């Protein structure tokens, strides 16, 4: 299996496992999306400035995870644009294509 596909599978499974554990506590999908946004924000230089859009829960045969877009200062080397993310309740992968092709691939392909 090519390295990028392995990265996608590993990251996505981590987010699915995180989401499953969260939902098994009796929490709903709205709470899952809030927890996922917090996991994304925790990875940012300025978490309080994060703006989110297109946040939704994806259901697959393997489980559930959260997709969306985030914008925050310093995230895109100064560019003013939203960036794709995929997340679980306490884990997130943000498209940082300028730093890691694997992160870009995971965040983009998982949310198609």
Region of poorest pLDDT, from 3-7, 11-15, 50-54, 89-93: 3-7
The residue with greater pLDDT, 38 or 11, is: 38
Q: Which residues of 60-86 are buried (b: 16+ CB within 10 A; e: fewer)?
A: eeebbbbbbbbbbeebbeeeeebbbbb
User: Domain ranges in the chain?
Assistant: 3-110
> Can you give the pLDDT at residue 5?
60
Q: What is the mean pLDDT of residues 38-44?
A: 94
Q: What is the mean pLDDT of residues 12-27?
A: 95
> Can you give the pLDDT at residue 78?
56
Region of poorest pLDDT, from 52-61, 68-77, 93-102: 93-102
> Can you give the pLDDT at residue 80?
59
């Amino acid at each position: 299996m090519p390295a990028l596909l392995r990265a996608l599978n590993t990251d996505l499974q981590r987010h699915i496992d995180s989401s499953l554990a969260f939902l098994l506590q009796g929490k709903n999908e709205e709470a899952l999306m809030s927890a996922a946004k917090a996991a994304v924000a925790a990875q940012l230089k300025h978490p309080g400035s994060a703006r989110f859009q297109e946040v939704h829960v994806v259901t697959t045969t393997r489980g559930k995870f959260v997709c969306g877009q985030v914008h925050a200062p310093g995230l895109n080397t100064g560019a003013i644009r939203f960036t794709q993310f995929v997340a679980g309740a306490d884990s997130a992968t943000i498209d940082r294509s300028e730093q890691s092709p694997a992160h870009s691939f995971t965040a983009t392909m998982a949310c198609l």
